[in-house]
Chain A
Amino acid sequence: MSAAPPGLLNLVQWLSPAFPTGGFAYSHGLEWAISAGEVRDGASVERWLADVLRFGAGRTDAILLAQALAAEADLDALTDIARALAPSAERLRETEDQGAGFAAATAALTGFDLAPRPLPVAVGQAARTLALPAPQVLALYLHAFAANLVSAAVRFVPLGQTEGQRVLAALHPLIDALALEAATATLDDLATSALRADLAAMQHETMDVRIFRT
């Protein structure tokens, strides 16, 4: 017997900041929102992240990941969909570059032949071998997505480390609810209302000084 369910430690490792996915380089447009003064403290970081999770890429990524986890999934079709959904040059790069890094690292660890794919599809492609419950995979994915952006905010707003962790903890109920919802969603449920998050990613392209790639 083992302390953790089989596969859980693999997934925790794959979604940890130390895994060579390169997430630290991407801010999802948050750098622009911080520079514009729209995100400037713990409360505004939490609001921005909650909206992106609930109404933007958090939810759509979770739906794509849930679809990719299914045994009968057409991963090439999901790859086309994930690419076509990217609203801007940098957001496409964010999901493709991280997905390629993730696929290469998981392929090296597992010995499976894992093609480079947009991040949620790449995670689904690798995680489907772990036989974990889908809502659990989605919750950990969304948590990693939020944790990465909290970490960007801690460095760039800046926020205190503890304040950043408080923001992340406050997002847990939302992450949990989204994971449950996305686990049973279909591709027809893909939708966004987070138009200014897209706008922020586009505005980021023309910033004079940038620390993050997106």
Chain B
Amino acid sequence: MSEKGDMFYAWTKSADIKGECGGAVISLLKYALEQKIVDVVLTVRKGYDVYDPLPVFITDPAELASCAGSLHCGTFLLPKLIKKYLNGAKDIKVAITVKGCDVKALYELAKRQQINMDNVLSIGLNCGGSVSPTVARKMIEEKYGIDPDDVVKEEIDKGQFIVMTKDGQHKGIKIDELEEEGVGRRANCQRCETKIPRQADLACGNWGVFGEKAGKATFVEICSAKGASVFDGAVNNGAIDICGPDPKGLEIRGKIETVMIKMGKKAQKSQFDELQEGRDRLTTIMNYSSRCIACRACIENCPICYCVECSTLKPHLIDQTKTPPDFMFHLIRFAHIADSCVNCGQCQELCPAEIPNALFMHAQQVELEKMFGHTPGVDMTLPVLAYAEEPEERRRLNDTGSDMIFENVFRE
């Protein structure tokens, strides 16, 4: 019987599963689906090519084998799909693979009653960052001198982004070097400090797989009782085989994580410094925001945005006929979200007007964390704004007949 904090090397016992490193993740998902522990698996599969990972909703266990392998161009966020298309897992059991930003989004949605965590099995995947497909192709063409269409596989190893071509050519370039030239991982990934997603039920990856198991097993850390039960079940059922981790491997895994977190902090400092401070920072934010076309892609894709009645759509707050909208549009987003921003980067990556929204939001989040002590996405602790059940709270406020926040919220 395993328990929270236990660590293993694990690998598949099925000959049909060709995982990235031992196939343990696919086997665990397959086991969960076959045993009806979950009804659907939400994960990622290669689409047209290695630059085109696509979310998939799998109900047939046989289909899971096709999802094996990691794809660093997968820049999207999965948990909001549970809210949008699976009714927040309120009446369906879902297994989901999660990177650091995914699992943090999962918690923030759960805090706001948008996802029922009791029905979610989350399998964490170590993540050193992702590269937008368009950037990856440009970078491979210009910095690697390789036709991006010839690349059949890519990986991140020992600080390098490595590509393999169809005729067996390997080429790696240091990520530091790429990022200094403005390519490489997304800016929010560069700032990220969640490398091993321990908030998930299981945290899996290849960091720390050392010795004879290198490349043949997955490092699994048990992170919850639910994770332990599924993991033990998969072992007992013969889906996966396990052994204890090499002590040297443990040390290596720890080192990788520490180094990457340091890099994240360093990137935060340099990116936030560039935003300047005080009035200058506000001016920068206002200038960029004046490009806004009010398409609402940021709202649509934000894991914190969930309101039934969005304040940015209220004509007394925002003139709905103006493009660009008044700065109030962005102020409302900052006020509502900044304390809980998980730095997933969606609002920036998907902004047609190229506004660095995630940078602005994340920069505010770290300040608010210092002030109010709320760290988003690590556990189920609520930020002030998530205490209320929206429809009930709106009803309560309406019934008071006053729009005074002090009267309504703070007076006993």
A and B interact:
no
Binding site for A on B (CB under 8 A): none
- Interface set of A (CB-CB < 8 Å, partner B): none
